[in-house]
Amino acid sequence: MFDQILQFVLTGVTVGATYALVALGFSIIYNASDVVNFAQGEFVMMGAMSAIAMSAGDGIPVFLSLPLAVLVTIGVGILLQRFAIAPARGASVVTTIIITIGASIFLRGVALLLWGKSIFAMPHFSGEQPIHIGKATLLPQNLWVMGGAAFLVLGVHWFFNHTTLGKAILACSCNRTAAQLVGINVGMMMLIAYGLSAFLGAMAGILVTPITFTSYDAGVMLGLKGFSAAILGGFGNPMGAVAGGILLGLIESLAAGLISSGYKDAIGFIILLLVLFFRPSGLFGKATSERV
Amino acid sequence: MRRLAGLCLLATIVVVLPILFPDNYYVTVVGVTALLHAILAVSLNLLMGYAGQISLGHAAFFGIGAYTSAILTTRYGWDPWAAIMAGLALTGLVSFLVSRPILRLKGHYLAMATLGLGIIINIILVQGDQLTGGPDGLGGIPTLSLFGWALDTDLRWYWMMGATLLGVVWLALNIIDSRSGRALRALHGSEVAAEMMGINTTAAKTGVFVLAALIASLAGGLFCHQQSFISPDSFNFFFSIELVTMVVLGGMASTYGAVFGALILTLLPELLVVFEDFEVMIFGAILMLMMIFLPQGLFVGLQNLVLRWLNRRRSAAFGAVGE
C-alpha cells in the first residue's frame, strides 16, 4: 500500500510540475496585463511540436532543435501580445478572453495544418532505464521534469525579485501609469512578460512530452489544468500558482489510483470547487473588497 | 414600443425565410441549429450580459435537460413532454442548489467554478454509462408531437424552434425592463451599491441563474427529441465556451446581439468548410479580428456605427440649412 501511494505521489508531482509551469505562465500574463490567456496551453503544444518537427528525419540535432523550438514559441507569445492583445487595450475582460480563445483556436489550426492529427513522441533526454525507490519506479525523465520545473520556478522568483527588469514588470502590474511616469517602457515590459510566459509553456512542453506524447490539441487540457491550478493557488499569486499546480497533480494522481481513473478529473474539479466555496480567493490569494 | 418593433422584425425574418426557401439546407438544417443556439445564447446573455455573472459551464444545464428527457423516454417509456418537464424540474433543483455557493464567487473565480461544474457534469455523462450510454451516446429518442402533429420533418422542427426562440426573446426583453431586470443591471454595475439601494442581490442572482439554466434545459429537451441521438460531446466544455463566444461576439447586454452572435457562429463553420484544412485557422483568426476591431460585439458595434453615421448625416443636413 505504501509503495503504491509513493508511486502515485511521484507521478502526481511530475504531472503537477507541468501544471505548475503552465499556471505560472497564466499568473505572469494576468499580473502584467489583466488578461486571462486561454492560449497558454497552446504554448506548451507549440514548444513540443516544433521541437519534434525540427528534429524529425534528417532534421537538425536535438540539442539545437530544443532551444530553437523555445525561441519559436517565445516569438508566438510576443506576436500574440503585439498583434492581438495590445490593439484591444481597454476592452472588457470577457472580450480579451474571447480574443485569447480565438488565438488558441488559430494556433491549433496552424498546428493541424502543419502536422495533422497524429500523435507525436519525443525521445527521453537520458535513457529509459527505470530507477527503483522501494517498490515504486521512476523514469529519468520524471526527474528532468521535476528538476527542470524547480529550476525554472526559482529562476522566475529570482527574476521578479532581484533584477531591474523583473521589478519593472512588477511595477507595470501595480500601476501602469506610475510605471510609465518613472520611465519604464510599459509596451516593452508587456512583450517581455508574454515572451516569458511563452518560454515557460514551451519548456513545460519539451520536458513532459517524452512521457506524455503530444498532438495538435494537447494544449487544451493542459491550459485548462493550468488555469485551475492558478485559481486554486489564488489568481495572480505566482508562487500560489506553483503550489496549486503540484497540489492538483497530486490530487488527480491519488484520485486516479485510489478511487477511479475515469473520475479523476471530476474529483480534481470537485476539490477545487470545495476550496473555492470555503476560500473564495483560492488558497493563497488575497481577499479583495469592492470599492464603490 | 421599440421593444416590440425589434421582436416583430425578428419574427418576420424567422417566418419569411422558410416560406421563401422551403427546401434550402441553410434554412431548414442549419437554421434549426442556429435557432437552438440563439435560445441558449439569449438565456446565457441574461446571466452574463445583464447580471454580469460569467458562466463557462452553461452547456451542463443544456445537457441535463437533454439527458433527462432522453433517458426517461427511451429507458422508462415516458411521454416526451412529461420527460422534458422532468428535465426542467431536475435542472431547476441542481441549479438552485449550486447557485448559492457558486454565485458568492466573483470574476475569474466564478469563471473557474462554473467551468469546473460544467466539466464535472460532462464527466458524469461520460462515465455513468449504465444510464447515459457513456461516450457512445444514447439513440432512438422519439420525436415530439404537438396537438397531434408529429414533428417529423426539418421544416416542422424549424417552426417549433422558431416559436420557442420568439417566446424566449419576448420573456428576456420583458424581464430586462422589469423591476428585477433593473435590479440585475444595478448589481452588474456594483453589487455593494445595489445592496445599499435595498436590492436583495443574492436572490436576484439566484433567480437569474436558475432562469437561465431552465431555458437551457428546455432547449436541451427539444434538442434531444429533434436529434433522436445524443452524446456527451454536444454538452462539453467547448460548447460552453462557444455559447460565451456567441454572447460576446453579438454584444453583451443585447438580446438581439445574442441572437445575432448565435447566427454568425453557427453559419461561419458551415461557410468555412470550403477552406478544408485551413478551416480551423481561419475561424480562429476571424474570431480574434472581430473582437479586436469591435470589442463591444458585432451587433452592438455595428449598431453604434450606423447611429453615428446617421447623426453625422443629420448634422450635415442641418449645417446645409444654416448656410
Q: Under 8 Å CB-to-CB from B3, ≥6 apart: which residues?
A: B173, B177
Residue among A36, A227, A290 minimizing CB distance to B191? A290
Residues paired with residue A100 on neighbouring β-strands, in sequence order: none
Q: Which of B104, B106, B64 is nearest to B86 (CA)?
A: B64
Nearest CA in chain A to B277: A113
Asked if residues A47 and A70 have their Cβ atoms less than 8 Å apart, the reply is yes
- For residue A109, being part of any structural domain is answered with yes
- For residue A5, being part of any structural domain is answered with no
In three-state secondary structure terms, B142 is: coil
- For residue A54, being part of any structural domain is answered with yes
Measure A81 CA to nearest chain B CA, in Å.
12
Ramachandran assignment for A136, one of left (phi > 0), alpha (psi -120 to 50 degrees), beta (any other): beta
Helix-strand-coil percent breakdown of chain A, rounded to 5? 75, 5, 25
Each of the 292 residues of chain A gets a pLDDT tens digit; together they read 788 899 999 999 999 999 999 999 999 999 988 899 999 999 999 999 999 999 887 778 888 899 999 999 999 999 999 999 999 888 888 888 889 999 999 999 999 999 999 999 988 988 888 998 888 889 999 999 999 999 999 999 999 999 999 999 999 988 889 999 999 999 999 999 999 999 999 999 999 999 999 999 999 999 999 999 999 998 888 999 999 999 999 999 999 999 988 888 899 899 999 999 998 888 888 766 655 5
ipTM: 0.89
Q: Under 8 Å CB-to-CB from A269, ≥6 apart: which residues?
A: A228, B116, B117, B119, B120
In tens, the pLDDT along B91-140 reads 999 999 999 899 999 888 898 999 999 999 999 999 988 889 888 999 98
Query: Which residue ranges in chain B fall short of pLDDT 50?
Result: 322-323
Q: Which domain holds residue A90?
A: 16-117+137-278
Nearest CA in chain A to B279: A109
Residues of B in contact with A260 (CB under 8 A): 127
Q: Domains in chain B, please, with CATH? A: 2-295 (1.10.3470)
Residue whose entry in the numeric block shows the C-alpha cell 464603490: A292
Residue among A101, A260, A273 minimizing CB distance to B241? A101
> How many Å apart are CA A287 and CA B7, to the nearest integer?
44
- For residue A271, being part of any structural domain is answered with yes
How many Cβ atoms from other residues are within 10 Å of residue A68's Cβ?
14
**pTM for this prediction:** 0.90
Asked if residues B261 and B33 have their Cβ atoms less than 8 Å apart, the reply is no
> How many Å apart are CA A255 and CA A14, to the nearest integer?
15
In tens, the pLDDT along A111-138 reads 999 999 999 998 898 888 899 888 888 9
Chosen for mutation from B55, B98, B105, B112 (greatest number of chain A CBs closer than 10 Å) is B112
- For residue A124, being part of any structural domain is answered with no
pLDDT at A199: 97
Helix (H) or strand (E) holding A132: strand A131-133
CB contact under 8 A, A94 and B54: yes
CB contact under 8 A, A98 and B282: no
Residue among A84, A103, A113 minimizing CB distance to B277? A113
The total number of structural domains in chain A stands at 1
- Residue B282 burial (C-beta neighbours within 10 Å; 0-12, 13-18, 19+): middle
- For residue A161, being part of any structural domain is answered with yes
Measure B197 CA to nearest chain A CA, in Å.
13
